[in-house]
Amino acid sequence: MIAAANRIIKPYSLDVKEVVWWSIYDIGHSITDKFDDVPEGEDRNPRVFTAGDACHTHSPKAGQGMNVSMQDTFNLGWKLVHVLQGRADASLLRSYSKERLTEAKRLVETDHKWARIMSAPTTQAERDGTEEPRIIRQFKENLEFTGGTAVKYDTSYLFAAGKHQALATGLEIGRRFHSAPVVRLSDVKQMQLGHVQRPTRAGASMRLRARQTARVPGRRSTSWPTGWRPTSIPLSSSTPARAKTLTR
């Protein structure tokens, strides 16, 4: 491995003082048929679950596996908490396997695509620098999935059909809400939009593509999603006079 590294970085060289551990192993693309213990055709709530590498394996090429695995356990975790605390029926646990199996299939398919891109020889245009390397293009195209923000769940116990999708053209039903750092005008507090976004009337807060501009004296204009308003707080003597609660 050291010799291979020196061939790659030539004319530079790498001098390794000590190797304390190393391993070479085969990576298999595999996925289980379900993430719980309910046999095919049996109608009951699951009692045993698997997540992460226990039910889907792939190569570490693009680094997307960690986010997918953590989302497995996050998805299962909040559902278990709701059931154990009596806040939801145990049938809620049936949605875990269906939702996460779909994402695991996307993970393995994405890894197969990465394998083909990385093993393909570079083109002359890529070597000349006149064309962006395919690996870089693939990273850009795959950023949402690698970052764990491209989750999309199908219609199920938790997600309604797209009958009223027109009320939320900027947010696809079943897809993870994309948060973003914003500054609340009422108190100039930095926060994540996804943590505080709430409806002011049915459907209005979800139309993120239609935007309105709020102008505050002494400050540059700021664009906010239509229907969204920051949480109101009482103005104190220490609050700048121009910090007013943004309204529609």
User: Confidence band (pLDDT; 50, 70, 90) for 198?
Assistant: low
Name the residue with higher pLDDT: 120 or 26.
Answer: 120
pTM over 0.95: no
Q: Tokens 């693939």 appear where?
A: 138
Q: Which fold has domain 27-121+132-146?
A: FAD/NAD(P)-binding domain (3.50.50)
Rounded to the nearest 5 degrees, what angle is found at the Cα of 110, between the Cα atoms of 50 and 70? 35
pLDDT for res 43 = 94
What is the average pLDDT value for the chain, to the nearest integer? 78
Give the pLDDT mean for 19-37.
Answer: 86
Lowest mean pLDDT across 113-127, 163-177, 218-232: 218-232
For CATH 3.50.50.60, the residue range(s) in the chain are: 27-121+132-146
Q: Report which secondary-structure segment, H or E, holds 56.
A: strand 56-57
At 97 the pLDDT is: 94
pLDDT at 12 over 70: yes
User: Which three-class secondary structure string do you get for 179-213?
Assistant: CCEEEECCCCEEEEHHHHCCCCCCCHHHCCCCEEE
